Amino acid sequence: MSKNESILRFEEVSFEYGHNKPILEAVSFGIRRGAKITLMGQNGAGKSTIFGLINGTSEPENGSIIIGDGVTIATSRQVIPRTEMDLTVREFFQKQFKQKVYDIDPKIDDALEIVNLKGHEKVHDRIIKTFSGGQQARLLLASALITDPDILLLDEPTNNLDKAGIEHLTQFLINYKKTVVVISHDAEFLNAFTDAVLYLDIYTRKVEYYVGNYNNVLKDITARVERENMKNAQLAKQIQAKKDKSNEFAHKGGRLRLVAKRMKELAEDLEEEMVDVRKEDKTIKQFTIPHQPDLIGEIISITSLSMMKNHKPVERKISASLKRNQHLLLKGPNGIGKTTLLESIARGTAKGVTIQSGVRVGYYRQDFGTLNFDETPFQALKNVVMRITGRFEEERMRSVAAGFLITGEIMNTKIGALSEGQKGLVAFASLVLEQPGLLILDEPTNHINFRHLPIIAKALDQYQGAMIVVSHVPEFLAQIRIDDTLDLDK
């Protein structure tokens, strides 16, 4: 197969989840061998569904998916399933193969070397859940690479990766000779290697193919929308003029009535010419996270912290505290223990950390572990309202949920069945209703549509309680007021 020949083709493919929930309608596109493709679309549009159709975990309702003879496919998922968290590294990698591989350790070592996971010679028997979020992200990528696939599908691969991890992955993809399809909201990362974009429109349920990188496509789409809006505005003006003439002549007798009829027909013809303009991706509404009232004095004080150095826990003496309206950035490379530390602070079990009695803690976990995946958003948000106010304020709850695009069918879908981005929006809606005095955020940009991020950053910037945040996205942090920084690596 030549490099310019298609390695994968969708021909009139349609797919729906359950009854009356269409995702794709007669979608056609091709991917050539060696291409570096970005798959774009709004949260919940069905990007991960396309991956499922490519790797065979889902089947189309109609149409055909044509894959070259002997072509192998591997997917690096967004998150490690909870059911696999208690596996050893060896067991986790063995699951990537259909048949048992007896001499798998050297293959594991080679894959871990590619993703720059240090200390890999000691990890074969280590349990997956003992790794940090960033290290788990590297394990996910390595688990896809271990089979040396012809088509590599990467679903939000930069989530939880620190700067060094993202740089390493970027360079790997630039040099990678095989076909890659990536779902990501990290524009800088995508622009470094993408040569084409597949855009899944949540409204038309079609996939559009664009040549160029992420920024090129955004400019193309924006320019097209502006042109279509301008054309429609001109047509609307002509239509209204024709209707006005028609109404004026309709009340007069003789031949003027015929003119009125003709004007009405011309207006109808012009209406048919109006372009069906792309409905741009919806963004969440501007919001604030109300802080717990009557907060006085020191909300949290830290005299010592536990972190990981050379895979061993280390205690470090420090002196830090937060009062109302003070924001702390917690920094450090993957594996140093940031997530473990934040979780222990949120639970009130962190040694050397004291939270003022009565302070409500709002905790945004990177794996959405604060959410019950068996509940619907309606149930989860109702529980928050009842816990905070003692009564069910349904109108307010639904208003907050709607601001985060949680409406209709989404409200009554189990959280575990939502996309990762939608889970993140449910988590933010919960924080708004919770009104915390101390806000703890672990990688709040993960899985979130890029259009929502400036709105979320503004809400965090304006938050007036005490806040601790971990994020590896400098563009996001630059929009948030940070009063102090605690670097665990220094």
What are the tens digits of pLDDT across the range 13-46?
999 876 667 889 999 999 999 999 999 877 677 8
What are the tens digits of pLDDT across the range 212-271?
877 777 777 777 767 777 877 787 788 788 787 777 777 776 677 777 777 777 777 766
What are the tens digits of pLDDT across the range 110-142?
888 888 776 655 788 889 988 887 788 889 989
CATH code at 6-72+149-218: 3.40.50.300
Cα 92 from Cα 121, distance rounded (Å): 16
At 321, phi and psi to the nearest 5? -155, 155
CB-based contact 34:178 (threshold 8 Å): yes
What tokens were used for 359? 């302070």
Alpha helices in 102-213 (DSSP H): 105-114, 133-145, 163-175, 187-191
What are the tens digits of pLDDT across the range 382-419?
999 999 999 999 999 999 999 999 988 899 999 998 88
Cα 184 from Cα 249, distance rounded (Å): 57
Nearest one of 333, 257, 346 to 488, comparing CA atoms: 333
Fold equal for 6-72+149-218 and 298-487: yes
Strands ordered across the beta sheet of 361-364: 361-364, 438-442, 466-470, 327-331, 484-487
pLDDT above 90 for 463? yes
Give the rounded percent of residues in the chain with a pLDDT score beyond 70.
Answer: 93
May I ask the CATH class of domain 298-487? alpha beta
Q: What is the DSSP letter of 156?
A: S
What tokens were used for 368? 């959405």
Burial class from Cβ neighbours inside 10 Å (0-12, 13-18, 19+) for residue 38 reads buried
Query: pTM for the complete prediction?
Result: 0.68
CB-based contact 47:75 (threshold 8 Å): no
CB-based contact 481:461 (threshold 8 Å): yes
Cα 378 from Cα 412, distance rounded (Å): 6
Q: Hey, where are the domains in the chain? A: 6-72+149-218, 298-487
Distant-in-sequence contacts of 86-93, Cβ < 8 A, 24+ apart? 86/127, 86/128, 86/129, 87/127, 87/128, 88/124, 88/125, 88/126, 88/127, 88/128, 89/123, 89/124, 89/125, 89/126, 89/128, 89/139, 90/124, 90/125, 92/128, 92/139, 92/143, 93/142, 93/143, 93/146
What are the tens digits of pLDDT across the range 142-191?
998 898 899 999 988 887 777 888 888 899 899 989 999 998 877 788 88
